[in-house]
Structure 1
Amino acid sequence: MIKVGVCGYGTIGQRLADGVALQKDMELIGVADVAPTLAIRALKEKGMPYNLFLSVEDYRSDFEKLNIPVSGTMEEMVQKCDIILDATNAGVGAKNKEIYSKYEKKAIFQGGEKNSVADVFFHGYANYEKGIGKQFLKLTSCNTTGLIRAVDCLDRDYGIDRVAITIVRRVADPGDYHRGLTNALQIDKAPSHQAVDLMTIMPHINATGILIHTPVTHGHIITVVATGKKKITKDMALKSFLNHDRIRVVKISDGFLGNSSFFKYARDLGNPRGDMYEIGLWEDSIVETGDDIMFAINIPQESVTIPETVDGIRAACEMQTNRLEGVAKTNEYLGIGKWK
């Protein structure tokens, strides 16, 4: 059993802990955080299903006042683990790396950290092999993770030369107030980092993109125009997408009108927190435009990177050295594709 710890019990950290706990060949040693946040208080009310460790000592008295049991310090957790999933705020992970290095532990960092923090910029489907046996991996962002799933899917079946993307990006996660209350759209300078990141993972593809921030919280929508090495028809693209376990093909006529439709459906399914591991892809959006193929995908930003992070554990710890075997195990334990 590979022993795993999660540092940072926020939006991503909570979901990483739940995802690891579902893996039958991994053991979750515990989670570490700084202060008794609402997430930590909810953990206590749920009966402390995970051991809690303190990242720093500054707020220990606050934990004691709330009778929140603490199992030790983050360093003590790190020593018990084979690998750490660092889900702290951007920049904190780079500092924590010193602790992971001190105890010669492996670690996986989330998309907010700089690429230089890791040995490999990692995606489970696109470059699993490059992560095998490495000490430090860094995940792609939520948008890039979902984007690469779709582009890699077509690339492996037919070959892709270039893509042009437009990202309609949710401005903040539910419950975040630091962005302020807005009634406007904001455009970023092109190319977006997701296009640059895609080329880092898949250097044989030319990519460019534009990103637009929107005052919503449930999911991003990305439109993709892809140019294949040969013409890709709608039927060809649809066949590939339907065969991919982490892509859920839907129709507008079935009620999937937009980003909130996916969130509501996941919640109606009883998925914890309304999460969905798969990206949504509208069959109605797949169109041929000249020699190009165009489509639109929905990115559930809070949960989409969890499967690829678990893939990273499998690669870094050499649990499976074959890409398809590794992602298949992750999918099996997370229940991905069970709806097919």
Structure 2
Amino acid sequence: MDKVKVGVAGYGTIGQRLADGVALQGDMELVGVADLAPTLSIRALKERGMPYDLYLVEGAERAQFDALDIPVAGSFDGLIGKVDIMLDSSPGGVGLKNKTLYEQKGVKAIFQGGEKNEVADVFFHGYANYEKGLGANYLKLTSCNTTGLIRTVDCLDRECGGLRKVAITIIRRVADPGDYHRGLTNALKIDKAPSHQAVDLMTIMPHVEATGILVHTPVTHGHIITVLASGKHKISKDMALEAFARQPRTRIVSIDEGFLGNASLFRYARDLGNPRGDMYEVALWSDSIVESGDDIMYAISIPQEAVTIPETMDGIRAAMRMQATREEGTQATNKYLGIGKWRK
């Protein structure tokens, strides 16, 4: 079988990681990435020896790239014509405009969480509804928080006899590392309830009632989510811990090991030598799992810059019918990304 040809639109925080993720997949080929300006990310790409071909979107000024000796392989339209599927990580709203180009070329596309759900045929998650994405032309990924949240909620739902409802609290980082547009602040900010993550979870898993509160915090390295889950039957701490331990993209950690919070996890990822300090797995504190009557409560950490990459690879597999089931699709993604190697 020929490798599936993939392009990436937008080489920012997510686009860089999407490109790296595709490049690691043994059954996919990264044709190139597209962007508008010679950003620091593009300059770093050039300094790394241009491992990926660069294409320019409409409105880009070629002279700016030439002045920096940044090689350009062609236009965005040319990239679209060479691929089977595009991964669109453009700024919110731009992906919807790009969809017209994809439709004209008969190319499939996967959009990231910043786009509205209406841009796609299927609101997608690799574990919760993989089969709904089979053969679809346009998929949209859940946000970083929703992606990690659904991994654990879906895990309990499948492994512990089903869930009735969940109540979540999200302690959300205010910006990605290096972003300045949010300003410098020393305050917490609360959003109106319910949070979109709870609404999105119900869109993916309509049989689970969800509600949630979101609080913005002046930090950059990751979110923390607490979840109170109500099962159809009582879920004990041991049942939950055993179930979570079987979820490939969930890493069990503890405070006693030194994982005191989001900064500990980011530092550990850097110490592991992970590129950019990324971690694909969500971390779940065993110390946080407590029984509350028949309910179970736990806390997870979301590495917002990298957590959606595995599910996007799953999306390619579903849309291109590379694997027919969630088990086969997610296992292939995990193998190529090296997810779960720490378990050995």
Give the whole-Å Cα distance in 2 for the aligned partners of 1:58 and 1:256: 44
Counterparts of 1:184-333 in structure 2, within 5 Å, are: 184-333=187-336
Counterparts of 1:154-165 in structure 2, within 5 Å, are: 154-158=156-160, 159-165=162-168
Match of 2:16 in 1: 14
1:136 to 138, 142, 145: 138
Deviations 1:226-275 (A, max 9, x none): 00000000000000000111000001000000001110000000000000
Give the whole-Å Cα distance in 1 for the aligned partners of 2:40 and 2:58: 18
Counterparts of 1:47-62 in structure 2, within 5 Å, are: 47-62=49-64
Root-mean-square deviation (CA, aligned residues, Å) is 0.4
Give the whole-Å Cα distance in 1 for the aligned partners of 2:27 and 2:263: 34
Counterparts of 1:21-170 in structure 2, within 5 Å, are: 21-158=23-160, 159-170=162-173
Q: Secondary structure, in 3 states, of the residue corresponding to 1:253?
A: coil
Q: Which amino acid aligns with 1:124?
A: G
Match of 1:178 in 2: 181
1:44, CA displacement in angstroms?
0.1
1:4 to 6, 11, 22: 6
Q: Secondary structure, in 3 states, of the residue corresponding to 2:78?
A: helix
1:57, CA displacement in angstroms?
4.3
Q: Secondary structure, in 3 states, of the residue corresponding to 1:231?
A: coil
1:29, CA displacement in angstroms?
0.1
Q: Which amino acid aligns with 2:156?
A: L
Deviations 1:44-83 (A, max 9, x none): 0000000000012432110010010000001100000000
Deviations 1:9-37 (A, max 9, x none): 00000000000000000000000000000
> How many aligned positions are there?
340
Give the whole-Å Cα distance in 2 for the aligned partners of 1:56 and 1:37: 16
Give the whole-Å Cα distance in 2 for the aligned partners of 1:103 and 1:56: 16
Q: Which amino acid aligns with 1:181?
A: L
Find runs of 4+ consecutive structure 1 residues off by over 6 angstroms: none
Q: Secondary structure, in 3 states, of the residue corresponding to 2:65?
A: helix
Tell me the percent identity.
Answer: 72
Q: Secondary structure, in 3 states, of the residue corresponding to 1:254?
A: coil
Give the whole-Å Cα distance in 2 for the aligned partners of 1:251 and 1:221: 14
Match of 1:338 in 2: 341
Segments of structure 1 that go 5 or more residues without pairing to the other structure are none
Give the whole-Å Cα distance in 2 for the aligned partners of 1:124 and 1:297: 19
Q: Which amino acid aligns with 1:31?
A: V
- TM-score normalized by structure 2? 0.98
Segments of structure 2 that go 5 or more residues without pairing to the other structure are none
Q: Secondary structure, in 3 states, of the residue corresponding to 1:153?
A: helix
1:157, CA displacement in angstroms?
1.0
Give the whole-Å Cα distance in 2 for the aligned partners of 1:155 and 1:261: 29
Give the whole-Å Cα distance in 2 for the aligned partners of 1:110 and 1:296: 25
Give the whole-Å Cα distance in 2 for the aligned partners of 1:251 and 1:47: 40
Q: Which amino acid aligns with 1:221?
A: I
1:314, CA displacement in angstroms?
0.1
